[in-house]
Chain A
Amino acid sequence: MLKIFQRLWQVNWAEQWQYRANLIMYLLYWLVSPVIYLSVWTSIANSKGSVNGLTANDFITYYLTLLIVDQITSNIVIHTFAYKVQDGSLSGELIRPIHPMLTNALVNNIAFKALTIMGFIPVWIVLFFLFKPDFSNVSLIGILLSIPAMIIGFFVGFLLTAAITSLAFWTTRVYSIHEFYYALMVLFSGQFVPLTLMPKIIQDIAQYLPYQLQIYFPIQLILGKLSSAQIIQGYAMGMIWLVIGLVIFNWVWRNGVKRYSAVGA
């Protein structure tokens, strides 16, 4: 089993390494909107002293941490998998004794991540010197607590997007469905602004949704802003959504593959 993973890693790493020029563009793409939001909110915080108790430094540390967390928890499975269902190249993968999504696509995603993180470190350091954040609130314990949270966040996001991607077995409009899913992510994850600045109703809903597990919860853990009750609640939500994600994905996948073979025959 370990050997299979090792091989898959080599193949996927080599595949991603081919596209290293694209990587720069990807980094830029993913960098711009957090930097824009950072600028908007620090400009407001600077002119008013603080926004709802958040100072300019709070916003800077929030978005700089967001860049790291988002890098770790996000995935690109919709872009690397949906087309395989549509053009039929999935057939070859289905006959192999490994799971196309939970093994191959997963390792592919992690290889992509490993590569982008390599490119990302120098960029982040440049941003660090441009914005000069004061990270004195960050403690080792916060960082240690955030690591399992980010891993849970990644797997929750991966399973849910994998389930949405698998809708490609039924419809060609899977990208539109994913766009809708992504819009909810923008609204409920804390990507645009720390959730405490969102309308009350959105905050109330957000804490029960999986989106904040990928962005807001790990960030707040790192920045040391959560009480122990909130930390326990966050982890509990994480475990619940992990189970929900697994169940949904398995169900969609199993029925989808059945359909796929029916169509292909």
Chain B
Amino acid sequence: MNTLKLLSAFLKVNIQMSLAYRTDTVVNILLNIMWLGWELLSLGIIFSNTETIGGWGFGELIALLGVFRLIHTLMIALIWPNTEKFNQSIRDGSMDYTLLQPINSMFLVTFSRITVWRIWDLVLAAVLIVVGLNMAGDIVTPLNLLSFLLLTVSGGVVIYSLWIVLIALTFWFTKFDNNVTILQALLDAGRYPVTVYPVWLRIIVTFIIPIAVATTIPLQALRGDLNLSRVLIFLVVGIVSFLIASQVWKAGLKRYSGASS
């Protein structure tokens, strides 16, 4: 309950902050639309030369683009702004005040900044998924839809957990302020089904920086490519990675000694 109240307070503060920069918000939305146009055009160029890539059709790739944008939004609306603030707070010692608050520090560090206008990206993503699936003509059973939704959430949790681990590393290596770049760099691999990648890249984006777990795999569930036991495994992976991440965070906090000492 407390958490929800806090979250809505964060949202309010962040809305106020973004209202101070209205023109920037408009400019950003325009740029966002421009990139969407480019993404659709690039898919169009690919599919003017072929009917399928990695066994997936045009509609399915549009739906994948939608799922990709969900994770992209997580990255850009939550991960980037909070990481920036976190790195700053490690450098100047203002992390001390965060730790003094009577709230779970992990929650506080990861949710206090939200780039609010990016939320419209989620709507866009949903539209892309629905339109894409319609174009592909796939029949979606309620069970597949349910496993898609669960796996999308679980994939998001996996990425979130990886993020926690990466920023927690800053407690050990103070100079590591490039902590999320690796995530951002590999994120683009989520635009296409991992089946098109060479094996080594597929291994990296499935097991090491598991972008695919949040993009290709939920969509595979939606298409009915995954059997029930696979779906359950990926759900467990989501839960386990979150548990590991919070342990790493706790261990990291013990290492924290403030900026001046």
Contact = CB atoms under 8 A, between A and B. Distances in A.
Interface of A: 21-22, 25-26, 28-29, 31-33, 35-36, 39-40, 43-44, 47-48, 51-52, 130-131, 173, 176, 179-180, 183, 186-187, 192-193, 197-199
Interface residues of B, number: 34
A52 B49 contact: yes
A35 B175 CA distance: 29
Contacts of B27: 173, 176
A36 B34 CA distance: 21
Given A173-B24, A176-B27, A25 B182 contact: yes
A183 B34 contact: yes
Interface string B24-60: 1001100100110010011001100110111000000
Contact of B50 (A21, A22, A44, A173): A44
Contact of A39 (B35, B50, B181, B201): B201
A52 B48 CA distance: 10
B187 to A, nearest CB: 8
Contacts of B45: 192-193, 197-199
B184 interface: yes
Interface string B169-205: 0000001101001101110110110001110110000
What DSSP secondary structure best describes chain A's contact surface?
helix
A186 B41 CA distance: 12
Given A21-B175, A176-B28, A197-B49, 13 more contacts: A21-B176, A21-B178, A25-B181, A33-B188, A36-B188, A36-B191, A39-B192, A39-B198, A39-B201, A40-B192, A130-B198, A130-B200, A183-B38
B162 to A, nearest CB: 15
A51 B201 contact: no
Nearest to A28: B185
B34 A32 contact: no
A184 to B, nearest CB: 10
A196 to B, nearest CB: 11
Contacts of B197: 36, 39
Given A29-B181, A32-B185, A43 B24 contact: no
27 contacts: A25-B182, A28-B182, A28-B186, A29-B185, A36-B188, A36-B191, A36-B192, A40-B46, A40-B196, A44-B46, A44-B50, A44-B53, A48-B50, A51-B50, A52-B49, A130-B198, A130-B200, A173-B23, A180-B31, A180-B34, A183-B31, A183-B34, A193-B42, A193-B45, A197-B45, A198-B45, A199-B45
